[in-house]
């Protein structure tokens, strides 16, 4: 699969292959886990909400898979990825270099959400991050993310579903195995109400099942 603008496919199988090739410097198991992510995370539903030539902030970017995909597809003009883990950021920087147009993206290690760049962005993404944040700090995390969305810009929130129980349990077991955490699911309705109260309108709401898992996607626009 070509990773150049204009010929990039958002088919799950192609995305998986792209990530498997891109992260060939990672240990075998991690490489396989990264390449399996398109079968769990709805990258295609995220991508269609990213305007052309967008300035993007990815909150909790991890190893940079989302930004690498957007770079390779020619979707973004400028981006910043923030995370608390330097090891993940080192991998993200390497992936961005290999995806092409690496000069368009920078990565920043942060100790807390207030340390994110103070710029305004066309799109701020928070994908599978909030359930790792202690419950008492989640409102603050969302506040810090949405204050960086420019007028008319997008806040894209994606996390794990609260129900049904068996999908929630699948996510909990997954996180316990791979991150050592028994997480508490995010109350999406509370996030939605909070973001709306801050001057955003909800433009899309989806529950997206994938294998044993379930994703909740909310897309907001700042008025």
Give the pLDDT mean for 120-127: 98
Q: Between β-strands 200-210 and 213-222, what pairing exists: parallel, antiparallel or unpaired? A: antiparallel
Q: Give the pLDDT of residue 209.
A: 96
Q: Give the pLDDT of residue 191.
A: 98
Q: CA-to-CA distance for 205 and 156, rounded, in angstroms?
A: 10
Other Cβ atoms within 10 Å of 147 Cβ, number: 15
Give the pLDDT mean for 178-187: 90
Other Cβ atoms within 10 Å of 40 Cβ, number: 21
Q: Give the pLDDT of residue 9.
A: 77
Give the pLDDT mean for 111-123: 97
Q: Give the pLDDT of residue 177.
A: 85
Spell out the domains of the chain, with CATH numbers in brackets: 41-222 (3.40.50.150)
Task: Please give the share of the chain, as a percent, with pLDDT higher than 70.
Answer: 96
- Give pLDDT tens digits for 11-46: 999 999 999 999 999 999 999 999 999 999 999 999
To which residue do tokens 């690496």 refer? 102
Residue 1 banded pLDDT, cuts 50, 70, 90: very low
Q: Which residues of 106-136 are buried (b: 16+ CB within 10 A; e: fewer)?
A: ebeebeebeebeeeebbbbbbbbbbbbbeee
- Give pLDDT tens digits for 81-113: 999 999 999 999 999 999 888 899 999 999 999
Residues with Cβ within 8 Å of residue 34, at least 6 apart in sequence: 19, 20, 23, 26, 63, 65
Measured CA distances, 216 to 14, 59, 103, 124, 125 (Å): 23, 17, 32, 16, 13
């Amino acid at each position: 699969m070509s990773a150049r603008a204009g010929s990039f496919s958002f088919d799950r199988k192609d995305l998986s292959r792209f990530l498997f090739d891109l992260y060939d410097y990672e240990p075998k198991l991690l490489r396989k886990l990264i390449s399996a992510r398109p079968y769990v995370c709805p990258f295609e539903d995220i991508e269609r909400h990213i305007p052309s030539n967008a300035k993007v902030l990815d909150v909790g970017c991890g190893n940079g898979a989302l930004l690498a995909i957007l770079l390779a597809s020619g979707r973004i003009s400028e981006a910043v990825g923030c995370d608390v883990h330097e090891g993940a950021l080192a991998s993200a920087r390497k992936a961005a270099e290999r995806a092409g147009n690496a000069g368009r993206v920078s990565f920043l290690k942060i100790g807390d959400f207030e340390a994110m760049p103070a710029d305004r962005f066309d799109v701020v993404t928070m994908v599978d991050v909030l359930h790792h944040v202690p419950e008492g700090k989640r409102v603050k995390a969302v506040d810090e993310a949405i204050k960086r969305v420019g007028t008319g810009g997008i806040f894209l929130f994606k996390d794990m579903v609260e129900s049904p129980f068996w999908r929630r349990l699948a996510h909990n077991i997954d996180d316990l195995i791979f991150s050592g955490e028994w997480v508490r699911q995010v109350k999406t309705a509370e996030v939605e109400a909070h973001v709306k109260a801050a001057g955003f309108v909800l433009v899309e709401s989806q529950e997206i099942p994938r294998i044993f898992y379930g994703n909740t996607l909310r897309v907001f626009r700042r008025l």
